[in-house]
Amino acid sequence: MGGIAILAREMGFTVTGSDANVYPPMSTQLEGQGIILQQGFDPAPLDPAPDLVVIGNAMSRGNPSVEYVLERGLPYISGPQFLSDYILKDRWVLAVAGTHGKTTASSMVAWILEYAGLKPGFLIGGIPANFGISACLGDAPFFVVEADEYDTAFFDKRSKFVHYKPRTLILNNLEFDHADIFEDLNAIKKQFHHLVRIVPGNGLIIPPVDDPNLADVLNRGCWTPLEYFDVAGVEQPESNIWNARDITQDGGAFSVYWGDEHVGDVKWNLFGMHNVHNALAAVAAARHAGVIAHEAVAALNEFRSVKRRMEVRGVVNGVTVYDDFAHHPTAINLTLDGLRNRVGGAKIITILEPRSNTMRRGVHASTLAPSLEAADEVMFYAPADLGWDLREVLESLGDHGKLFDDIAEIVKYVAGEARPGDHVLVMSNGGFGGIHQKLLEALT
């Protein structure tokens, strides 16, 4: 919604907004764009009546502003529908969908197109460091969008991504998530099938070689050419597979191949096999938009990642503090494995806030402990309203796991335990009470 507000402002609209508990980097980004933001949902800013109210999917019946809009018959629309009607209708849309990696992969695609001089528009659920902003109208025809499977609005329960009508579609992966709106994995597969059905025959769909859930989706019907990608690092004789070879242990360098053709080498500051995976998909998508492969690879060598995706928030007395958005066991595992391969035997202290709706319901209770095996110490923050008991996860972790119900106590503990050369990894999809800055100050 913050990105859509920025796009509307760039189009020349006067934009104001209401939200609760807005935190950086989005809050500071909106302020920088001159967008007036009200904390809370008092409907007073809706008088006098605006020309249009864009309602985000976090809003539901009973919200004071929502009730005000309905009672007075104000014109309203969902965020994805606004994007479709006002911005995407005449654009070549490159969309990135999947359970994990959407923000990073879409940032890579946008950067490759920018590097190639195509000046794309984009809407991304994070702030790519190469741009310093999460949304931009850009120049026609290309527009890159992070395509989320979450529902659209309280009045439109379709997944957001069906509004975007992509011509180029990356399908990164597919697992069960969003337990608050999807009954099971098949319900998510159905939405992905709806997405596949609207990609035109002159478009392109880019899935991984080895994701059985996406294979099931595509087997339900696909009317669009496919190009696959694979990070196994082995030769792929098929001509429609992008693959990586000569991958270093931490994923910080690798060679990109199109079938048996070597198209370039990547050496960057990112790490982890998941980012190699994202890179191959991004090269394929950019090539479909007209960027030659070796230029796309050259762009990746200058890619600077995304805020809150393994972002180094600071180094104090030899202790490195990271901020990461991971909140699903698969993403947690991939991130930790990448960090372990990067830092070797150095101590990794992980702090996890189970904040997502799925995590708060305990859906991942059985897979959470195994996803944290690469960490030396794990601290869980358990707020009073968490919907399940974390102690079973702690038992699986043994002496490596600790439970806290107070952020200040976590900071105090880490400040006493961390030593020069240690790495402190904070994982949350929210602001986490400003714990990152508190850690840096306590470590001083």
Instruction: Say if residue 358's pLDDT is above 70.
Output: no
Name the architecture of domain 2-74. 3-Layer(aba) Sandwich (3.40)
State phi, psi for 200 to the nearest 5 degrees: -70, 165
Q: What is the pTM of this model?
A: 0.84
Query: Where are the domain boundaries for CATH 3.40.50.720 in the chain?
Result: 2-74
Digit-coded pLDDT (tens) for 372-391: 989 999 998 987 777 777 77
Q: What is the DSSP string of 351-402?
A: EE---SHHHHTTTTHHHHHHHTTT-SEEEEE--TT-SS-THHHHHHHGGGEE
Number of H-type helices and E-type strands within the chain: 15, 22
Mean pLDDT for all residues in the chain: 91
Residues 6+ apart with CB under 8 A from 130: 107, 111, 114, 302, 303, 304
Digit-coded pLDDT (tens) for 145-177: 999 999 999 999 999 999 999 999 999 999 887
Give the pLDDT confidence score for residue 238 in this predicted structure.
Answer: 65
Query: Where are the domain boundaries for CATH 3.40.1190.10 in the chain?
Result: 81-300
Q: How much of the chain, in percent, has pLDDT values that exceed 70? A: 96
| Domain 311-443 fold | Protein-Tyrosine Phosphatase; Chain A (3.90.190)
Query: Where are the domain boundaries for CATH 3.90.190.20 in the chain?
Result: 311-443
Half-sphere exposure of 244 (CA within 13 A, CB side): 29
Give the pLDDT confidence score for residue 305 in this predicted structure.
Answer: 82
Radius of gyration of the chain (CA): 22
Query: Which pair of tokens denotes residue 144?
Result: 């890159």
Digit-coded pLDDT (tens) for 202-247: 999 999 998 999 999 999 999 999 999 997 655 555 678 999 999 9
Digit-coded pLDDT (tens) for 402-427: 989 899 999 999 999 999 999 999 99
| Domain 81-300 fold | UDP-N-acetylmuramoyl-L-alanine:D-glutamate ligase (3.40.1190)
Q: Is 138 exposed, middle or buried (0-12, 13-18, 19+ CB in 10 A)?
A: buried
Closest CA to 437 of 416, 407, 413, 401: 407
